[in-house]
Amino acid sequence: MQLYKLRAEYAELILMTDEDGVLPEEVIERLDKNEDELETKTENICIMIQGYENDIDNINKEIKRLQSYKKTVTNNQESLKNYLEYNLQSLNKDTVNAGTFKVGFRKSKSVNIEDWILLEDKYTTTKTTVAPNKTQIMKDLKEWIEIEGCSIREKENLFIK
């Protein structure tokens, strides 16, 4: 039986009291059976959750491995480019046709800033990020300092051991 159906049946069974407010024996037996099914379903769901946690850990490890490999490949690529550039410049070669590749240098311009502190405001950009300091807010609220628009909310978090 699905978990939501167990929940609905459990609620229905609880309402089946006799005129003295006592649950009949067959209702108690069904409640016990539902309790066993609930434990089995919960155990199976927890097994699945642990499986997903293991998958997530393995995926994160693979991501780290691939990022490390990407960094190695990128460094090798950059090293080869620098090697080629150095040798072409040493030989005073502006272009080289090598099979299907044409290698050479082209001129470009970029701005070089020696000391950006000396720049006028119109040549600078200011970036500001504003975010609530939840740690400080929690500390002050715990000390009974009233902060408009803030309160401590108590939550129940599911745990699986």
For the chain, domain boundaries: 3-102
Q: How does 33-58 read in b/e, with b if 16+ C-beta sit within 10 Å?
A: ebeebeeeeeeeeeeeeeeeeeeeee
List the chain residues with pLDDT less than 50: none
Q: How many residues does the chain have?
A: 161
What is the rounded distance in angstroms from the CA atom of residue 95 to the CA atom of residue 85?
Answer: 11
Residue 134: the pLDDT is 94
Helix and strand numbers, DSSP H then E, in the chain: 3, 2
Q: What is the rounded distance in angstroms from the CA atom of residue 29 to the CA atom of residue 148?
A: 53
Percent of the chain scored above 90 by pLDDT?
Answer: 46
Is 96 in a helix, a strand, or coil?
strand
Q: Supply the pLDDT for residue 30.
A: 75
Determine the pLDDT at residue 3.
66
